[in-house]
A and B are shown apart, each in its own frame.
Chain A
Amino acid sequence: MLKNRIIPCLDVKNGRVVKGINFVDLKDAGDPVEQAKIYSDGGADEICFLDITASNENRDTIYNVVERTSKNCFVPLTVGGGVRSIDDINKLLNCGADKVSINTAAVENPKVVLDSSKKFGSQCIVVAIDAKKNGDKWEIFTHGGRKNSGLDALEYAKKMEDSGAGELLVTSMDRDGTQIGYDVDLMNKIASKVNIPLIASGGVGNLDHLVDGIKLGNASAVLAASIFHYGKHSVQEAKEYLDSKGIPVRI
């Protein structure tokens, strides 16, 4: 039976983890490679890096991080943040990323999804959707949530599936950082609309939220950042909790 996945996400800036696991025995708490290794040893089903490097001159730091991580972690690695072109995707894959997530570029130029999925295969193209509720619909935001594209999230999700996306990483902008739980209504609506797997993101504050993301949101995978940081919960704990709620997980 296919299992639901738990994906810890690490924010990486200038090659360093911004928020992360704060264990006393860490040699270097800012090293993304060491943190990714802790997650994969703890049973993470995949690892996600979100590169939030702002300045262009430090953009290349992520390549080195990906290269070192892929030599130490043998579970799938997804890298997102600032992925704009076929060339960016090619470089990340060559460094050892298994998937890339495309956000702003997919909205501005949907052809990049079409072209990259043809060139590299749908299996490595994740389209990241940042959506915010407006009345009874959701709209797509870009540029790290700063710019409203006005696009309808459900229609956009379908369009991305048709363009060759292998998975959708859906983040609720209303919930992100709030720790009050996923927007399960949004997740469920998109999951019912498309036939590709959906990864839910944004708003996880406790383990029940992960359960809700899967049971109510119909997500194939749940992504979380802060609950795994600072040792609040381990990935293993999360899996055992999901298992106790009858959700199939890899233990």
Chain B
Amino acid sequence: MKVTIVDYNSGNISSVINSFKEVAKDKVNIDVTSDLGKIKSSDKLVLPGQGSFKSCVDALNKIDGLTETLNEFAINDKKTLLGICVGLQMFADVGYEETETKGLGWISGRVSKIDNQNGKYKLPHIGWNQINIVKDSKIFKDIKNNSHVYFVHSYEFVPNDNSVIAATTDYSSNIVCSVEKENIFGTQFHPEKSDKIGLKIIDNFINL
């Protein structure tokens, strides 16, 4: 099996690479590339993303044919894909960070700033928070409800259809922190920085 981490200059992905390699050991081939041919021939994709929604969408669009290739992979071929942080946020129709920006439109919804209740809550939402698993998602196999994972974000994905929500976390309100729609998986938190729990989630994804 070949798992590819899509490298589209979306910021720092060293930790994503390190964690996937740690879990995969020698059993699974982990590729890191923006090469369209290699992406197409992968069994699974990981779409990381750091920085702003707009900067990540811009970075995707800078690579000729990448968005089309991702669409083909996830929507037409229905192959398994995991979005992390802004990688998940880009599934939405639209994001409002910096300026209104069109997303990939894979899961209907929008990405807007977390309501900090007039300064009552600090932003970014940084640190370890608990996940409330609301759907029996395959990436949470053997993960206990209320496990701690690591977050860093100021924006949240608000899907139109609640049935895609796999887990939420409590910060100011119930923030969507994981989604699953058929072959498309996403985590707002960083499994690559979430210690043993995070490595288990990565392992679950690799073993899907």
Contact = CB atoms under 8 A, between A and B. Distances in A.
Contact of A74 (B119, B128, B198): B198
Contact of B127 (A2, A71, A97, A122): A2
B150 interface: yes
A124 B193 contact: no
Interface stretch (B14-22, B31-39, B76-84, B87-95): B14-22
B122 interface: yes
B12 A3 contact: no
B105 to A, nearest CB: 23
B198 A120 contact: no
B170 A1 contact: yes
Given A124-B12, A195-B122, A74 B192 contact: yes
Given A70-B14, A70-B15, A196 B124 contact: yes
Interface residues of B, number: 38
A220 B198 CA distance: 22
B158 interface: no
A220 B128 CA distance: 11
Contact of A2 (B116, B129, B193, B196): B129
B150 A166 contact: no
A196 B195 contact: no
Interface in B22-72: 22, 50-52, 55
Given A94-B12, A120-B51, A220 B127 contact: yes
A221 interface: yes
B130 interface: yes
Interface string A1-30: 111110000000000000000000000000
Contacts of B153: 123
Interface residues of A, number: 32
B195 A75 contact: yes
A96 interface: yes
A121 interface: yes
A220 B122 contact: yes
Interface in B111-167: 116, 119, 122-130, 148, 150-154
Contact of B193 (A74, A120, A121, A221): A74
A196 B12 contact: no
Interface string A133-163: 0000000000000000000000000000000
Contacts of A119: 51
A5 B128 contact: yes
Interface of B: 11-12, 14-15, 18-19, 21-22, 50-52, 55, 116, 119, 122-130, 148, 150-154, 170-171, 192-196, 198-199
18 contacts: A1-B130, A45-B127, A45-B128, A71-B21, A71-B22, A74-B22, A74-B193, A74-B194, A75-B195, A94-B14, A121-B11, A121-B52, A123-B152, A196-B123, A196-B124, A197-B122, A197-B124, A250-B128
Interface of A: 1-5, 40, 45, 70-71, 74-76, 93-98, 119-124, 166-167, 195-197, 220-221, 250
Given A3-B129, A120-B11, A121-B51, 12 more contacts: A1-B130, A2-B125, A2-B151, A40-B195, A45-B127, A76-B150, A96-B15, A98-B12, A98-B193, A122-B124, A123-B50, A195-B123
- Give the 9 A-B CB pairs with smallest separation, nearest first: A121-B51, A93-B12, A123-B152, A96-B14, A250-B128, A250-B148, A3-B128, A2-B129, A121-B50
